[in-house]
């Protein structure tokens, strides 16, 4: 059983069964990973409260004895030394950026550039307007695409995360309301 210790950004959490929590994390040392917080462990039931999207935390986790598909086992979580103050008006934008990492970043591949982008975003919210561009480029999407992926005519202004598609405002307005879009 190998133990790891790293800083992490919480991307998402899911409650599983009666007592467990699965957290999607973007970590400094392992890139995007899943960790499972078992509430049967006294110490992690407290840690589970740190597992909220957009939190910057420090985590200790171990490899499971078998079946790595369900992720690592969380042993402990704490606030990071840097606790960002997130202005309310940018929270929705930040959540869509977090969603982008959750959907599109490869698992178990550390990426120093994506990590330092998040450090910048969370410490200096004035960088948020250009962050979607930078993030998509770091994840391998070309934001200089010249035409909308649907109508092939207009200039793309949005990125449809689930479809990995750049679209214009007009085509974006035809999409279902729950489709998560980034301004680019
Ligand atoms: Zn279009």
pLDDT digits over 54-82, tens only?
A: 899 999 999 888 766 668 999 888 888 77
Partners of residue 25 on adjacent β-strands: 10, 33
Position 45 scores a pLDDT of 61
Distance from the alpha carbon of residue 167 to the mean position of ligand 1, in angstroms: 5
DSSP for residue 107: B
Where is mean pLDDT largest: 94-98, 142-146, 178-182?
A: 94-98
DSSP for residue 149: T
Q: Are the beta carbons of 15 and 36 closer than 8 angstroms?
A: no
Q: How far from chain centre, in Å, is Cα 41? A: 26
Alpha carbons within 13 A on the beta-carbon side of 117: 21
Q: Are the beta carbons of 184 and 133 closer than 8 angstroms?
A: yes
Q: Are the beta carbons of 118 and 132 closer than 8 angstroms?
A: no
Distance from the alpha carbon of residue 150 to the mean position of ligand 1, in angstroms: 5
Distance from the alpha carbon of residue 121 to the mean position of ligand 1, in angstroms: 29
Q: Write down the domain spans for the chain.
A: 3-79, 88-183
Strands 56-62 and 165-167: unpaired
pTM given for the model: 0.88
DSSP for residue 161: T
Distance from the alpha carbon of residue 174 to the mean position of ligand 1, in angstroms: 10
Distance from the alpha carbon of residue 134 to the mean position of ligand 1, in angstroms: 22
What is the spatial distance between Cα 52 and Cα 47, in angstroms, rounded to a whole number?
A: 11
pLDDT category of residue 41 using cuts at 50, 70 and 90: very low
Class of the domain covering 3-79: mainly beta
Distance from the alpha carbon of residue 154 to the mean position of ligand 1, in angstroms: 5
Distance from the alpha carbon of residue 164 to the mean position of ligand 1, in angstroms: 14
Please state, as a whole number, how many other Cβ atoms lie within 10 Å of the Cβ of residue 36: 18
Distance from the alpha carbon of residue 157 to the mean position of ligand 1, in angstroms: 9
pLDDT tens digits for range 137-171 = 999 998 787 899 999 999 999 999 999 999 999 99
């Amino acid at each position: 059983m190998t133990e790891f210790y790293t800083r992490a950004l919480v991307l998402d959490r899911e409650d599983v069964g009666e007592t467990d929590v699965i957290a999607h994390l973007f970590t400094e040392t392992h890139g995007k990973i899943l960790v499972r917080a078992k509430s049967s462990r006294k110490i992690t039931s407290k840690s589970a409260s740190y597992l909220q999207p957009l939190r910057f935390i420090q985590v200790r986790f171990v490899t499971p004895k078998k079946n790595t598909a369900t992720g690592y086992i969380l042993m402990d979580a704490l606030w990071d030394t840097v606790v960002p103050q997130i202005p309310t008006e940018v929270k929705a934008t930040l959540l869509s950026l977090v969603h982008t990492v959750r959907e599109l970043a490869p698992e178990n591949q550390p990426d120093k550039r994506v990590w330092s982008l998040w450090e910048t975003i969370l410490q200096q919210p004035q960088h948020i307007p250009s962050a979607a561009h930078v993030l998509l480029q770091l994840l391998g999407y070309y934001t200089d695409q010249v035409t909308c992926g649907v109508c092939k005519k207009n200039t793309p202004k949005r990125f449809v995360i689930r479809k990995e598609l750049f679209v214009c405002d007009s085509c974006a307005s035809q999409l279902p309301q729950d489709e998560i879009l980034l301004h680019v």
